[in-house]
Structure 1
């Protein structure tokens, strides 16, 4: 055979990428296009304009996700700069930012913690049906969002009632299962309501990689939000989301002697997750808009059940009472002020219990101040300070400063520095009977960060390059104590450094290219590499549109990721094979309100191994129909 007849998936993918400027259709970014100019992002104690924000961020549009047939938040976040999403089976995915531990990245839904209690939120089943946008804020965010945000924040903003009196949407997809979703909203002179419902049955794939039973996901989700303008100066609102998910999984055998025996195909093994998150808030404007107040109560609840011969249940609840005030310093209303101060006070309590451990509790009382200055010279300043008084472990003061300088001629310099913290988890503090021993003397983990970037906008193109260095002190790690796991603060620092690049180019009215690249060098205090963090991750993409047809595709290349080998005698950090996946998508507008969509992921059925011993998702196709009014 000739070389052209024996192209590997990687070679075919790279050739396809090289042909981007000349081919139709062209490629689209793996996760979704970055929206260049959102009005505001949740980057402080109150929203901030993106061109005044000194930290690195990405914003993903919900409309772009639905256009491309991207149905899960997990897939939407995959490939964004500085973000690592790892699947261990289709029903479990974790997120890391800039190489930090998973519990250092906070996931919010409309500003409310998605995960009740102290655990990490599992992304696998969360759908994109009612999402307006996803904001990804990189670097320490503890000043604004507390201890769970020491490495960054993902804020998922849902759709709310639009300006028109009433409207809605319906959609259905088919492919390796099916999904249905619908939403409706109504708005009057003084307020609005929005309701959405989605159900999904994803057949999944065999997590053991042995060609056995598929480990799928069945999920139902309901959300309701509303707002009411009680007076000219007082707004009252609420949001509530509910979800139930049943998923299949396989057992692992840590006594196995090799990878082949590590994962065991286990038919009919399922677990159930129940999620609730909501808030009630009131916003008041005083002094002709120069002083605003916001009081909110938030509650998240997460319950999980493992039935079977050895049933197990767990429950986590987070409650928070928060007060925010914004004061204009230059006499203008807060939303137009060039100089302003934000103040915050909140109280947060986390509870967690399970079948073997009684209710455990952590709580924090916090106060914070934030200054913002927007100057005629093009300099924007954001600085914040927060004090957390923690019950049961060390108090902490976090800080942040961000600078954005318009240099003219389409250039913007941005940089930030700060320190955030992550409190020990319930398991690390209290242990788990028969398996691990807790340590009430643990110190919080402290993340110190410095980044510097430049954004260039030239005609219809934009590129942003950010260099970062972060240092994690008092990293909590696991050891062995008499046959059980125990937890200690490691001596030394875990250093992570790298570069994040993102770019867009609107070549013509109907052709757009996008791409991103991350390089992350993440080391443990002993010099070993951090697991589940690719050293190199590249995405390329774009879209071609003609009349009612839009076509596109995406390419993702991952290299230099290490993962632990969990079987007996396995390597704690062995490098996984590099992989490249390619997807294609398209949509056809049957009318102004009705659209047909299609998508194929992992077009060349690449071996995209993300964890030792686990299977991976092969080629997958779906088709969908949506209508809006």
Structure 2
């Protein structure tokens, strides 16, 4: 309550200051005019010079919006602008970390129905999904754990306090009204918090650019799949707003592969909505309201015994954000006061337990966050981003059908951070930052970061390098659940990356390459218990005599290093794109697991696409995705021979045709050769599928 009072007081104070600024500005102008009368014999610049000087001064001393979802970016179609790196808008050529930006045109062209379908084709990213659409989906960036990928929707961090690793489950995140996707690779913990060791995925939903407009997408395909989306919004001088809804349904495939006894279709139904409102009270003060809601039902198979069951899961997620933006001192200092709340509820149901309790699992995780972020223009070309955050997360889980008590947990984290960024010379920028987190269970921790980027040759040549540290506390589930371990230690990491980008022939050809390296200590992994024989003490639920299938423990040390290569070529009507990633992420702790690649992370991945633009508007293309083999689980004393997921190559065909200025028809064939593959042992994947639909932009 005290923090809320302090936040409100600060907001009221800065709002009042902003309200008095016009009066102060007029007073200053009056004295300035008087000064000019007293010094009318002084030498004056020409009107043109004065105008240019004033324009240059304004341009250089204005602070950036302190928001990873600045309104100007949400309404922009410029892929050269990114916001994730410094949580303020800036050009990609000025970011010291490696970043991939996909605008609305690229998202539409990919025809991906789920965000994970799009992410898997970007450099350094791999995806593992436990079945078809709607099932648990993990995203790994540069081989880091899935719980070390920070997920952001419209500037709000999406965490699930009741999940196994505090990470976001991408399985229920449909593309919906997404207008930009930004993938920032490498440790970003200074500005984004402890979870962002692997990187950040920033999803920005669309905002209108005209008084009233909307869009409608309708798509149908294999397995009785229907994907429908609609959005409407408008913009006036003071208010910008947009509402969107998405309805996805599919009969699906068997969650457990037919090769392991799964035969029935496991369906999935997702209904989601997003909403955003920006209200400009005065020129210097505005209010932001943002929301996201998703309700999904997923049919499940059993991981043990007979796969086909009538089990299913209900999952509900929602996010709410309210923010106050205040600009002071002629926009030299911009302030953002925000409050966000995220919650995830899940309920696993087994009808076969009737007439007894059918709830095999109940989970409820929530996170509320108070935050202040400031952006200060120090001097010309030098900016400071700083802030304070207070985060409280809680979880409650139980298995009523099996008896037992509830599992509960709560943590608090208080953080302060700052990052300075500036230009040394034209084209050469540097940045450095520091963050302090105080965790209610694990105490305090200090992190540092630094980087530089050099763009020259008319920005056609770019070199960049970045160093970052990370600190990730165990999740509530890893500590307190039936598989938990209260002796866990926080994960820590440090790493660096360096790379270049070169553009040729008036930017028609672009090539780039990056090298990265990361060392992690106390990495947390799930280890299996033996199936027979005498069980060690760690293989019993804490404080009971109940055996368990496995437990969480720290791997003493792991290392990751790799190379990312990408290229694109546009020649008249032909567009070619490709990327390749080599990732070596290995356990370096003493024991039987020393030197093994960590699970579900292929060492080699590659993506490519070729599109042809016909004279009459038709665009046809082919896409290919390749991944090498990967282990499914970690090697341990009780799991000496884990399963190896084989490598695979997938081909997709796609086309789109504009019927009019506002209407486009499209279609695609995924997994053209009907290749069988697994990203997770025993779990099914989609074979050859067909989809088609329309896009209307009004």
Q: Shorter-chain-normalised TM-score: which range?
A: 0.7 to 0.9
1:415 paired with 2:465, answer yes
SS at match of 2:118: helix
Structure ID, larger Rg? 2
Do the aligned residues in 2 keep the contact of 1:446 with 1:472 (CA within 8 Å)?
Answer: yes
1:476 paired with 2:521, answer no
SS at match of 2:263: coil
1:128 paired with 2:172, answer no
| Alpha-carbon distance in 2 for matches of 1:252, 1:449 | 37
> Which of 254, 261, 286 in structure 2 is aligned with 1:235?
286
SS at match of 1:154: strand
| Alpha-carbon distance in 2 for matches of 1:198, 1:319 | 26
Do the aligned residues in 2 keep the contact of 1:72 with 1:127 (CA within 8 Å)?
Answer: yes
| Alpha-carbon distance in 1 for matches of 2:82, 2:496 | 23
Q: Runs (4+) of structure 1 moved beyond 6 Å? A: none
338-347 or 608-617, which moves further after superposition? 608-617
1:247 paired with 2:298, answer yes
Corresponding residue of 1:446: 492
Corresponding residue of 2:348: 306
1:326 paired with 2:389, answer no
Residue 146 of structure 1: CA displacement?
0.6
Residue 121 of structure 1: CA displacement?
1.8
Corresponding residue of 2:586: 523
> Which of 632, 641, 652 in structure 2 is aligned with 1:563?
632
Unaligned runs of 5+ in 1: 1-34, 254-261, 331-336
The within-5 A match list for 1:457-472 is 457-459=503-505, 460-472=508-520
> Which of 538, 556, 568 in structure 1 is aligned with 2:606?
538
SS at match of 1:552: strand
| Alpha-carbon distance in 2 for matches of 1:81, 1:227 | 34
1:372 paired with 2:421, answer yes
Residue 572 of structure 1: CA displacement?
4.9
606-615 or 268-277, which moves further after superposition? 606-615
The within-5 A match list for 1:609-624 is 609-624=678-693
Do the aligned residues in 1 keep the contact of 2:408 with 2:480 (CA within 8 Å)?
Answer: no
- Distance verdict in 2 for CA 1:326–1:565, change over 3 Å: closer
Corresponding residue of 1:256: none
Residue 36 of structure 1: CA displacement?
8.5
Which one has a larger percent strand, Structure 1 or Structure 2?
1
Do the aligned residues in 2 keep the contact of 1:45 with 1:370 (CA within 8 Å)?
Answer: no
SS at match of 1:617: coil
Q: Deviations over 1:100-119 (max 9, x none)?
A: 11111111111212233252
SS at match of 2:252: strand
> Which of 472, 480, 504 in structure 1 is aligned with 2:568?
504
Corresponding residue of 1:222: 273
Which one has a larger percent helix, Structure 1 or Structure 2?
2
| Alpha-carbon distance in 1 for matches of 2:479, 2:170 | 25
339-348 or 206-215, which moves further after superposition? 206-215
TM-score after normalising by structure 1: 0.88
- Distance verdict in 2 for CA 1:392–1:68, change over 3 Å: closer
Residue 391 of structure 1: CA displacement?
0.3
| Alpha-carbon distance in 2 for matches of 1:219, 1:246 | 7
Corresponding residue of 2:653: 584
Do the aligned residues in 2 keep the contact of 1:565 with 1:574 (CA within 8 Å)?
Answer: no
SS at match of 2:195: helix
TM-score after normalising by structure 2: 0.79
SS at match of 2:105: helix
1:455 paired with 2:510, answer no
1:361 paired with 2:410, answer yes
Residue 377 of structure 1: CA displacement?
3.1
Residue 478 of structure 1: CA displacement?
4.3
Residue 407 of structure 1: CA displacement?
4.0
Unaligned runs of 5+ in 2: 1-76, 399-404, 530-535, 541-549, 589-593
Residue 212 of structure 1: CA displacement?
1.1
Residue 488 of structure 1: CA displacement?
3.5
| Alpha-carbon distance in 1 for matches of 2:672, 2:526 | 39
| Alpha-carbon distance in 1 for matches of 2:219, 2:605 | 29
- Distance verdict in 2 for CA 1:471–1:565, change over 3 Å: closer
Indicate the structure whose relative CO is greater, using CA pairs within 8 Å and at least 6 residues apart.
1
